[in-house]
Amino acid sequence: MSDLRTFRPGSSRIVAYGVAVIMIVLTTVIGVALPSYVTFSPLELATLAAMLVAVLALLHGVGRSYVRAGDDSIEVLNGYRRHSVPWSEIAGFSMKDGAPWPTMVHGDDERLILFAIQSSDGRYADEAMAYLRDRLT
């Protein structure tokens, strides 16, 4: 029987998508509420749109992050970069007191941040770390 578990950020995911919605709503409200004598050139509008899209892409990167522990490997998606590491190459997991997220040590002492497991999520993060550490033994 397959033992597949996926861990995603909790509160930071809610904050990221909440801020994205607020930004879109505020941008729309401010754009509609501006007096008619305030105008923007096409280049200014393009710059504002590009900045909004860039911030929304960063927020989405936070929200879509995950750690997926499968039977053969662990898959980590940090923002837009995906890593797949076989369990046999993992030396351990570290989450020191005060650290914002854990680190996975693999290969020749290479380290990979597990952004989807946030220490601010409290018990959920502790349970995720316990599960991952148990999988190593």
pLDDT in tens, 109-118: 899 999 999 9
> pTM score, two decimals?
0.82
Q: Are the CB atoms for 106 and 95 separated by under 8 Å? A: no
What angle in degrees, to the nearest 10, is found between the helix axes of 11-33 and 42-64?
160
Radius of gyration in angstroms for the set of CA atoms belonging to the chain, rounded to a whole number: 20
> In angstroms, rounded to a whole number, what is the distance separating the alpha carbons of residues 98 and 89?
26
Arithmetic mean of pLDDT over the chain: 92
According to the model, what pLDDT value does residue 2 have? 63
Q: φ, ψ for residue 40 (rounded to 5)?
A: -120, 145
Is residue 76 within a helix (H) or strand (E), and if so which, with residue range? strand 73-78
According to the model, what pLDDT value does residue 111 have? 93
Q: Which pLDDT tens digit goes with each residue over 7-53? A: 999 888 899 999 999 999 999 999 999 999 999 999 999 999 999 99
Sign of CA dihedral 100, 105, 108, 109: positive
> In angstroms, rounded to a whole number, what is the distance separating the alpha carbons of residues 127 and 117?
10
As to burial, measured by CB atoms within 10 angstroms (0-12 exposed, 13-18 middle, 19+ buried), residue 94 is middle
Q: What is the mean pLDDT of residues 61-90?
A: 93
Q: Look-up: residue for tokens 């837009």?
A: 80
Q: Are the CB atoms for 67 and 7 separated by under 8 Å? A: yes
Q: How many residues does the chain have?
A: 137
Q: Which pLDDT tens digit goes with each residue over 123-132? A: 999 999 999 9
Q: What is the mean pLDDT of residues 77-87?
A: 94
